[in-house]
Structure 1
Amino acid sequence: MRRLMRTRAGLGAVVLAVLAAGCTVETDKPEPPLGGPSGGPGGSPAGAAAVAVKIDNVPQARPQTGLDAADVVYAEQVEAGLSRLMAVYASRLPPVIGPVRSARETDLELLRQFDAPVLAFSGAQSKLLPLIADAPLRAVPPDKAPGDAYYRDDARAAPHDLFLRPKALKITPHADALESTGFRFGPAPAGGTPETHRTVRFPSARFAFDWVEYEGRWRITMDGERARTPDGKELAASTVVVQYTKVRQSRFHDRSGNISPFTETVGEGSARVLRDGRAFDARWKRAAATDGTAFTTPDGKPLPFAKGQVWVVYAQA
């Protein structure tokens, strides 16, 4: 492995790697201290914030590192019908997270619910960079991070080789950041139907969740491959949310001309919540980008999640 250094040669390597992935990076805008625009009184405590990391999810990127430590994992559709993950860390930070990939417009709306979150990503399409710069978040691509925060793994092929050491960002885990998501945790409501398997399909990607009674969790399969950590531990979630929403074309595209999908996370619609080996029909509502998403039963009562990791998969309505 080799570290990315803040030298002209090191920055050039980062830019070349990002361009190979169809993205560019912004290098000329000064940044506020990590932890949010305020960096202290009047906003998030200095160094305290939710940390969101864009994670590669094609077969060449697996097994991913650090997914098992995330509080929430969002699965969204990207170009050519493939999937990408955004892992959000609030309770704790693992030593390493990755492979890290580029941001999308969907992420900016999704992250508005958090108070000045940190977004770690490898870069973005050039026309999207101004939107990222203006968003109420702390953008930390490789050129804006401390010199030892990102590194490339020689055992992986580019662009699936960029990894993040999140503790180098000097951020304190901030579990209260999850309160703004609208998620509520507690005992399972009455009702639901027994369910031990659920598959969600994107045009070119597939997620499957299998209930394991003795673990009390849903094991995760992606594109037909059991999801694991690098040391072989199977990934599993306590709650799985299949959120049906509109996925439309955005005005952005990659270097190959593939249009970037935009997943609308503001609005309302139906969802299927999996917990405790049962499936619950639900409604979701998010009135504004600054609001969290409320999940309720068909009769309007709050639908709590099981304590533990939550996966939210955005499916086409």
Structure 2
Amino acid sequence: MNEEQEKKDEFFIPEKEFFINVVNNIPKGYTLNQDKKANFLHGLLKDDFKCYINIYKEYVFEFFNIRIQASLFKGSDNKGKVYYFSRKMDCKNMDQSEISNYKNIENARISQHLRNSFTLTINDENCYDNPDIKVVFGESGFLFLNNFVNIDADSKNEQNEKFENTLILYALYIAYMEKIDEFLQNTSTLYFDKKHKNASDIRKQIYIFGLKHFFSNPVKHSRQQLHVLWNIIEEYYKIGDKYAEVKAQAEDIIDIIEIEQKEYDDNKQRKRDNRINLIAFIITLAGAISIVKDTIDLFKGG
């Protein structure tokens, strides 16, 4: 054990560590876990949620056909890493200055895990700190800390469930971002690929997705702790802003296409009107020539 690991072990007992990946298919060895539900979520999110697990207790969470794997092994395209630690030291018997110093050192350790440096600012914007758990979110992952020391098996199971539910929320965030990126990609290529007829379909898909699956806070109010955790996730990762951006981009593309279509239709109508006017002129001219010719013939005959 190196010196850095010894320092970490003074504070945390490692429980679980997962790498987060998006996968196209359910990997071999995973089976559907019928017992794992997300009843704390609203509506179709709760109904559509699926959890797969393997013998190593790795997970695949599925939301609206997007699958997020929590694996013990690093993949080629990781979306983040999450940690579940338990606290080693009980702060109850510390005085205020000791607690403050301990928290500073603890936050530095958390920053080291999440960013590989001591530069991550930990405050209310990215941290939930409660007597039972502390959760800190970083750019590409989170750290879940069990604040209880020397707990019994039932309490341990309860803390494990809190971690799993937090992991599900993080997986939902990843799924939202994947869907938003998909919409952004589709809308940004519509104009340049000249697939104008698909624009309305893309906009329709975005709005249907919003009605069925997108919530500013998808957690039921009765699940207060998870509800607050999602508020932190939403604000920290700007999920709502990014969804609003993709909707605005779709509307802008539609507006541009409608303007161009109107210009095309107006130009087409002008050409049609010009052809009709030309034909009318030719007919009129032909009629005039015929009248002149008949008049000339009449005078010649007279």
Higher helix share: 2
Calculate the TM-score normalised by the size of structure 1.
0.21
Larger relative contact order (Cα-Cα within 8 Å, sequence gap ≥ 6): 1
Higher strand share: 1
Calculate the TM-score normalised by the size of structure 2.
0.22
